[in-house]
Structure 1
Amino acid sequence: MGNTAVVDAARRALGPVGIALAASLTSPIDIDGQRAAVVRLESAGYRTVWTNETVGGKDALVQLAVLLAATRRTVFGTGIANVWAREPETLHGAASVLAQAYPGRFVLGIGGGYPQQAAATGREFGSPLSKMRDYLDRMDGPTMPPAPYPRIIAANGPKMLALAGELADGALPAGGPPAFTAQARQVLGPDKLLVVGLTMVPGSDPARARQGARERVSAGLAQPWFAAAVARLGFSEQEIAEVSDRLVDTMIAHGEPAAIAAKAGEHLAAGADHVALLPPIGTDFATGVDQAEGLAPALRDLH
């Protein structure tokens, strides 16, 4: 149902801005390279690192166990642990062990995934809201007393946000503009953790970076739920059809480090507790780490 003490501790631990490791959906990344990367990011000043999960690929909780052991103080979060990858009781047990082993250094983000991921496990996708409610209820079922840990839900719509406020410690929306962050904060209220995923396209050439950002928005608009969410935020049909500069600049952080830091700051001002910077899917892992190191100095003054 949520725990105020857990939320307050997570806010302090996460800090204002973190970074997601660049991820591939088709090929594994050498684990020694991941260890070296998170050590570099810790040295660069990042307090929090986020990782993804693929159904039938790497296990997010096992990955975090390895990376937590490789670092001294970095907080790690799953962005996200997929409900189709394991049973809720198994996820709860694994999360509790990590929370006990690394107090204050672990945040569990849970997401409902996609129909193809459900199909890969031989199950029907059904209603994402019903699936998530059932999943959370089973996580809260009778069990040995667990170590407390913050649990947040991937939520990009009002119903899932409301569920996150009801049954979890907060929410993790991604891909939206600061106006959506403000709406999410209003739905959750002041006592829940709000982590916002912000896609970024770094680059010293502003026009090229904006074009890369435009491609990310265009890909998102191919998803009906994303297109509907954009329309609800007041963008006109023409802006959506043309993928206008205003739409691109509002949705994606792109360009020089100062511009990316400024966009993250807009989300913090709109009510986010923490902004997780997300390299576009398919970014080369080593390139993503280099970019993150280059961004770090510009992010240090954010609050």
Structure 2
Amino acid sequence: MATQPALGKIGIWTAALRVTDSLSAQQVGEAAAELEELGYGTLWLGGSPSPDQAGALLEATGRITVATGILSIWDHDPAFVAERYAAIDAAHGGRFVLGLGVSHSALAGERYARPYSAMREYLAALDAAPTPVPASRRILAALGPKMLELSRDRAAGAHPYLVTPEFTAQAREILGDEALLAPDLKVVLEPDLDRARTIARDYLARYLALPNYTNNLLRLGFEEKDFADGGSERLLSGVFALGDAEAIRHRVDTFLAAGADHLAVQVVNTAPFTTLPHQEWRTLAEALPLGNG
């Protein structure tokens, strides 16, 4: 792409940074502003957010990039997305990145059909909108080779979820040198490794029920037995960073060395979808290479 979004080296991925019955707009805004002040390059809002939910984070900040991580193409009409993207992006100086994905059949239901073709059609609709969403301002959730190629050819790059350094190296080969590669990395900042693995397994179990993820993990050399009981130690070691801040930093460096341009760090605790882990974010900001040049 001619102009790539400025993601920085390290971002924060969270599905909790939105207004709920237990979290006010003020609390959400203050948390987003603190993450910007700490030096993170991008806020990734998970859980198939709407453009306007991402827009609320842009309103609360002044410099940081905000990305949807990811917006499900089954949940949001492309014409509406393009319209809202244009308005929000114009108001916030090019800080909005549209992360798109095909989600999962278990979540999308009967709408889920021909996901690769559906993504191509969705991108075409964004291109055909009165104010198109530029390819350089969108990024695709991609695991398989065809979707990685599409993220290279029709977007700024790829935002793969639940992956390993080995996957990252393979994805870099498919994407080439120019496309962005911004994988998610789940982090349990807990020095007691037995407790860290328990927290990780409780979180991972929901994803191991989704074939898009397990099929990709099988391609990477894991076996069905690795998916039992929330994940084997081998699997946890592959897709998580577990331990103290030094161990987390080492794992982050491994992903970057494998070819990631940016890591979307997701702090996993006992309630990751409903709580904002302020202290973990602060600790990681001191430990990780946040340089955003």
Please indicate the TM-score interval, normalised by the length of the shorter structure.
Answer: 0.7 to 0.9
Query: What 5-or-longer segments of structure 2 have no aligned partner?
Result: none
1:103 Cα deviation after fit = 2.0
Cα offsets for 1:133-163 (capped at 9, x unmatched): 1111111115246677511111122221122
Counterpart CA distance in 2 for 1:24 and 1:144 is 28
Task: Report the CA distance shift for 1:174/1:260 in structure 2 as closer, same or farther (over 3 A).
Answer: same
Task: Report the CA distance shift for 1:24/1:295 in structure 2 as closer, same or farther (over 3 A).
Answer: closer
- Is the contact between residue 51 and residue 60 of structure 1 (CA under 8 Å) also seen in structure 2? no
Counterpart CA distance in 2 for 1:34 and 1:273 is 27
* SS of equivalent residue, structure 1 residue 264: helix
List aligned pairs for 1:1-303, cutoff 5 A. 3=1, 5-7=2-4, 10=5, 13-23=6-16, 28=21, 29-54=23-48, 59-119=49-109, 124-141=111-128, 143-144=130-131, 150-236=137-223, 238-241=225-228, 243-280=231-268, 282-283=271-272, 285-300=274-289
Task: Report the CA distance shift for 1:285/1:223 in structure 2 as closer, same or farther (over 3 A).
Answer: closer
Query: Given the two structures, how large is their TM-score scaled by the length of structure 1?
Result: 0.85
Identity across matched positions, percent: 36
1:221 Cα deviation after fit = 2.7
Task: Report the CA distance shift for 1:112/1:25 in structure 2 as closer, same or farther (over 3 A).
Answer: farther
Q: After the TM superposition, which of the residue ranges 88-97 and 30-39 deviates more from structure 2?
A: 88-97
Letter in 2 for 1:256: D
- Is the contact between residue 40 and residue 290 of structure 2 (CA under 8 Å) also seen in structure 1? no
Counterpart CA distance in 1 for 2:105 and 2:20 is 21
Q: How well do the aligned residues superpose, as a CA RMSD in angstroms?
A: 2.7
- Is the contact between residue 15 and residue 47 of structure 2 (CA under 8 Å) also seen in structure 1? no
Aligned pairs, how many? 289
Counterpart CA distance in 1 for 2:95 and 2:33 is 15
1:116 Cα deviation after fit = 4.9
Counterpart CA distance in 1 for 2:238 and 2:135 is 36
Cα offsets for 1:160-181 (capped at 9, x unmatched): 1122122211111010101011
Query: What 5-or-longer segments of structure 1 have no aligned partner?
Result: none
Letter in 2 for 1:179: E
* SS of equivalent residue, structure 1 residue 181: helix
Cα offsets for 1:56-102 (capped at 9, x unmatched): xxx53112222212112111111011212221122122222222222
Counterpart CA distance in 2 for 1:48 and 1:89 is 25
* SS of equivalent residue, structure 1 residue 14: coil
Cα offsets for 1:200-237 (capped at 9, x unmatched): 22213222112322344444333223222212112345
Q: After the TM superposition, which of the residue ranges 214-223 and 243-252 deviates more from structure 2?
A: 214-223
